[in-house]
Amino acid sequence: MREITLTVNGQRHELTVEPRTLLVTALREELDYRGANVGCETGRCGACTVRQDGDAIKSCTRFAVQADGATIETVEGLADDDELAPIQEQFQENHGLQCGYCTPGMLMTADTFLRDADDPSREEIRDAIEGNLCRCTGYHNIVDAIEATADQLGETE
């Protein structure tokens, strides 16, 4: 067992984990951040995507001990209490989710992508979310939602 520290959505947690505990498991089961979902545990689906020190990562692809000391942001941290973040609003408006299982990961990937992307093309958006699988939407509306968010952010800048 190892003691580690994770700062999740601004809150510092100390926890004891087995060396083989995946980051996603620590977040979900030890700390009860159940937004990130597990679709494959092999780094293929992206449902477990969170932000670690600013980068979107698949939290099933690393052990919790490797994230010791890291700052983690999960889907639970996107909205400001009751106010949805722009990316969340646009997913709703553009019907970018159906069952919602891929959504937490998709949102974290998209939100991270939009921090650096300036007026991205649809193709660039498709490239950005390539590692996040969605079986329900066929991606079209997800691309719409991300495009609309980029427009919205562009206008307010």
Partner 1 sequence: MSDAEDVAESVFGSSVERREDVPLLKGEATYTDDIDLPEMTHLAIRRSDHAHARIVDVDTSDAEAMDDVVAVFTGQDVEDSGIPNAIPTAWDLPNLVQPKYRILALEKVRHEGDGVAAVVAESRHAARDAVDRIDVEYEELDHVTEPRDAVERDVPEVHEEATDNVGFDFELGDADAVDEAFADADHTASVDLRLPRIIPNAMEPRAAVADWDATTEEMRIWMTSQNPHLHRMLMAAATLGIPENKLQVIAPEVGGGFGSKIYHYPDEAVTGWASMQVERPVKWQATRSESYQTDCHGRDHDTTAEIAVDDDGTVRGLRVETYAGLGAHLSQFGSATPSYLYTTVLSGQYQIPAIHARVVGAFTNTTPVDAYRGAGRAEGIYVIERAMDVAARELDVDPVGLRKHNLVPSEDFPYESAAALVYDSGEYEHGMDTALDHVDYEALRERQAELREEGRYIGIGVASFVESAGLSPSEAAGNLGSQAGGWESAIVRFDSTGTVTLFVGTADQGQGHRTTYAQIAAEELGVSMDDIEVVEGDTDRIPQGMGTYGSRSASVGGGAVARGAREVREKARRIAAHQLEASVDDIEFSDGEFHVAGAPDRSMHIQGIAHQAYLGHDMPDDMDPGLEVTNFYDPENFTFPFGTHVAVVEVDPDTGEIDIQQYVGVDDCGEIINPMVVEGQVHGGIAQGIGAALFEGASYDEDGHLETRRMDEYAVPHSTQLPDFETDNTVTPSPHNPIGVKGVGESATIAGTPTLVAAVADALEPFDVDHLDIPITPETVWRATGGGE
Binding residue count for ligand FES, defined by CB under 6 A: 23
Q: Does residue 71 belong to the site contacting ligand FES (CB under 6 A)?
A: no
Per-residue binder mask for partner 1 (CB under 8 A), 62-101, x = binder? ------------xxx-xx----x---x--xxx-x-xxxxx
129 near ligand FES (CB under 6 A): no
CB of 39 or CB of 68, closer to partner 1: 39
122: contact with partner 1 by CB under 8 A: yes
The number of beta carbons lying within 10 Å of the beta carbon of residue 110 is 28
Q: Binder to ligand FES among 7, 30, 44, 52 (CB under 6 A)?
A: 44
Query: According to CB under 6 A, which residues from 83 to 102 bind ligand FES?
Result: 97-102
- What's phi and psi for 142, nearest 5 deg? -70, -45
Tell me the two tokens of residue 149. Answer: 């968010």
Interface residues toward ligand FES, by CB under 6 A: 38-41, 43-48, 58, 60, 97-103, 134-137
